[in-house]
């Protein structure tokens, strides 16, 4: 019994880690699955549908990164981020609902936990997406301690002043 509890906790931690790390890719995944389903329904076969899904998902991820990089204003970037965060929130809601269905008998509490879980996943996706690229005129360091430093317009190659 104790071993089953430990293994269940480990499996839940692994699923949570996967969800938090890959929540940013919910939109490209949904686009890829939808394109693959449409291609398969039109007679492309399994291999053709898989290729169409991979290309469509990759294109949507690439277009999202391009749109995020091309947006010069904070409002434009938040709009692009919102397009990517909404599917992550939906995926988080249904993932949490599936887990809550296993351990919560009351439907009202399932909904409460699911909304909270979807909100947490959306917040994590928002946080991960906002760190993708700095705004123009800002320089970002590398690594976990990256700090945004305002670039002095007169000095391009000089290190920032402390």
Joined together, the tokens standing for residue 69 give: 């990089």
b vs e for 124-138, b when ≥16 Cβ sit within 10 Å of the residue's Cβ? bbbebbeebeeeeee
State the pTM of this model: 0.67
Residue 160: its pLDDT value, please?
58
Radius of gyration of the chain (CA): 20
Q: Contact, 144 vs 158, CB < 8 A?
A: no
Residue 145: its pLDDT value, please?
42
Per-residue model confidence as pLDDT tens for the chain (162 residues): 777 778 777 777 888 788 877 888 888 999 999 999 999 999 989 999 999 999 999 999 889 888 888 888 888 888 888 898 999 999 889 988 988 888 878 889 889 989 998 999 899 888 888 776 555 555 554 444 444 445 555 555 555 565
Q: Cα-flanking dihedrals φ and ψ of residue 28, to 5°?
A: -60, -35
Residue 143: its pLDDT value, please?
44
Residue 133: its pLDDT value, please?
56
């Amino acid at each position: 019994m104790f071993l089953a509890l430990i293994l269940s906790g480990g499996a839940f931690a692994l699923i949570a880690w996967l969800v938090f790390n890959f929540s940013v890719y919910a939109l490209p995944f949904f686009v890829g699955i939808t394109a693959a389903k449409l291609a398969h329904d039109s007679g492309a076969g399994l291999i053709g549908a898989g290729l169409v899904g991979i290309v469509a998902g990759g294109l949507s991820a690439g277009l999202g990164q391009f749109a995020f990089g091309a947006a010069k204003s904070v409002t434009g970037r938040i709009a692009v981020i919102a397009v990517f965060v909404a599917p992550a929130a939906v995926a988080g809601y249904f993932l949490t609902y599936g887990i809550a269905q296993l351990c919560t008998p009351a439907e009202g509490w399932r909904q409460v936990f699911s909304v909270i879980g979807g909100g947490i996943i959306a917040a994590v996706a928002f946080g991960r997406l906002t760190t993708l690229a700095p705004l123009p005129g800002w320089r970002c360091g590398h690594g976990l301690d990256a700090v945004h430093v305002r670039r002095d317009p007169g000095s391009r190659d000089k290190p920032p002043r402390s």
